[in-house]
Structure 1
Amino acid sequence: MNQWSTLFQKELVEMWRNFKWIWVPITFILLGVSEPLSSYYLPQIIDSLGGLPEGTVIEIPPPTASEVLIQGLSQYTTIGVLIIVLSTMAIIAGERKSGVAAMILVKPVSYFSFITAKWAGGFILLWVSLLIGSIATWYYTGILFDWIPIDLFFQSYLLYGLWLTVVLTLTVFFSASLLTPGIAGFTSLAVVFVFTIVTGPLSNWLEWSPSQLTNYANEVLLSSAIPDDTLPASLLTLACIIILLWLSVFIFRKKELAS
């Protein structure tokens, strides 16, 4: 346990030195607040652009607070996924390529502790950044439109966090399996993209798919009720995270012993 704690603290310090504790939360805040601000000031933005015939009147129905919050949180499933992959793709592959991993593993350090400590560091960074960004989105939505009940907000936050944790774990898996961080990042994005595209048209058959969690989070905000398939999808998501972590340790150990 002391070994794991030391590796975990090292990872947190390393992320601070790389300014991840600064730029990742700030990016999540900017992503989140952009939607309520742009939705609120959209009529003024259109008027400032000009170019419309004199007397033209464009009436845009104001969106509901739930719709604005959903649009704000949806930023994390697009650009947010890219941020997660870019900040995580070198977490193991980069240290393998630079030789730092070999120096650490020369000591009596278990592969399990090495991988899981790095994953835990990324996990903390992800959930803290998502919380800060989501709260900023919820706050601006409440100020400019209407207040969403705090319990509904946290339910949606947990579901979004679970899906993004899958993205994080998948990136850790490819970072442990591949030597080049760029290839690990590209492969992670490709798998997430294909998985999301396939799940969309087949949503009626893939109701327990981890990528459905964001849709269930949106339904929570719109209907104030948790969909029936949320629990099975969440349990399957947790199982996927555990399996991917186990495979990360297994493949990384195999590759290191072979080299």
Structure 2
Amino acid sequence: MQWSVIFKKELLENWRNLKWIWVPIVFILFAIMDPLTTYYLPKIMDAAGGMPDGAIIDIPMPNSVEAMMMSFGELGLLGVLLTVVIVMSTISGEIKSGVYEMILSKPVKFTNYVSAKFFSMMLLVFVSLALSIIAAWYYVMILFGTINFNQLLMSILFITIYFALIVSIVIMVNTWTQSPGLVAFISLAIIITFNVLTNIYGHIFTWSPALISDYIGQYLASGSLTNDMWYTALTALILTIICLQFAIVTLRSKVLH
């Protein structure tokens, strides 16, 4: 009962802030931007003119998997940035405004408080991801070729697991400071460092969650799920739980002190 009350409060607050409208729309724009631009760029350049006489615009068209991975790439970059922005004041904003003290003055469990906020944000992120990837798949099917829909659904599941880690990192950092801007900066620093280390030592950290997008590309191309992909998803889930546990412990220590 306590958990559901906090969860419903967060859903209602996201609705009042219109996040349930503009966040999915922005995610969809991110996802469809690259495939549409890639397909229509030669036509746009040709229609705009300004090319020398006899010049031929010959830009190789990607296949359906490559076009779909453009969408995953944008979500992995701009989608992560937007996720950090919408989560950065989830707890820090309440601590700064004093709402946090009002809530925890009642017998509210720290676990319920943190997990309800996490799952409310994840529901918003999941819906936004699913809608944006399905929208991108629709245009890729029309313009570039077919992609198995069941594979697409499985890809949505794995990218959602990666975004769960992103949300948990931001929520953990939320408990460190009252400044949402500082939360965003520290969270992005952690995420960027994590990705840089993966790029450098990817041959060692083959289960790094930062490689999920690469494994999704391999899966869409081959149609088979590798063990590395499953282990990477498991690693992301374990790290998510660890980050949330850190957030709970930090909040509990703040109250005790």
Q: So what's the TM-score if we normalise by structure 2?
A: 0.97
| Aligned residue runs from structure 1 range 95-114, under 5 A | 95-114=94-113
CA displacement at 1:53 relative to structure 2 = 1.4
CA displacement at 1:210 relative to structure 2 = 1.1
CA displacement at 1:46 relative to structure 2 = 1.9
What is the letter of the counterpart of residue 43 of structure 2?
Q
Match of 2:237 in 1: 238
CA displacement at 1:62 relative to structure 2 = 1.6
Match of 2:159 in 1: 160
2:45 and 2:227 map into 1 onto residues whose CA distance is 41
1:256 and 1:17 map into 2 onto residues whose CA distance is 29
What is the letter of the counterpart of residue 178 of structure 1?
T
CA displacement at 1:196 relative to structure 2 = 0.5
Match of 1:228 in 2: 227
Match of 1:201 in 2: 200
Match of 1:116 in 2: 115
Q: Which moved more, 1:134-143 or 1:150-159?
A: 150-159
2:192 and 2:145 map into 1 onto residues whose CA distance is 33
List, as ranges, runs of 4+ consecutive aligned residues in structure 1 with deviation greater than 6 Å: none
1:124 alignment partner, SS class = helix
2:45 and 2:161 map into 1 onto residues whose CA distance is 37
Match of 1:178 in 2: 177
1:171 and 1:236 map into 2 onto residues whose CA distance is 18
What is the letter of the counterpart of residue 9 of structure 1?
K
Match of 1:69 in 2: 68
Match of 1:21 in 2: 20
Match of 1:89 in 2: 88
| Aligned residue runs from structure 1 range 24-39, under 5 A | 24-39=23-38
CA displacement at 1:113 relative to structure 2 = 0.9
| Identity across the alignment (%) | 37
Q: Does structure 2 conserve the Cα–Cα contact (< 8 Å) formed by 1:169 and 1:241?
A: yes
What is the letter of the counterpart of residue 190 of structure 1?
A
What is the letter of the counterpart of residue 229 of structure 1?
D
Q: So what's the TM-score if we normalise by structure 1?
A: 0.96
Q: Which moved more, 1:89-98 or 1:66-75?
A: 66-75
Q: Which moved more, 1:82-91 or 1:174-183?
A: 174-183
CA displacement at 1:112 relative to structure 2 = 1.2
For the aligned residue pairs, the C-alpha RMSD in angstroms reads 1.1
- Residues 49 and 190 of structure 1, relative CA distance in 2, 3 Å threshold: farther
2:57 and 2:179 map into 1 onto residues whose CA distance is 51
What is the letter of the counterpart of residue 94 of structure 2?
E
2:70 and 2:111 map into 1 onto residues whose CA distance is 38
Give the number of equivalent residue pairs: 257
CA displacement at 1:236 relative to structure 2 = 1.2
CA displacement at 1:204 relative to structure 2 = 0.9
Q: Does structure 2 conserve the Cα–Cα contact (< 8 Å) formed by 1:155 and 1:220?
A: no
CA displacement at 1:188 relative to structure 2 = 0.3
Superposed CA offset, 1:179-211 (max 9, x none): 211101110011101110110121111101111
Match of 1:217 in 2: 216
Match of 2:56 in 1: 57
What is the letter of the counterpart of residue 169 of structure 2?
L
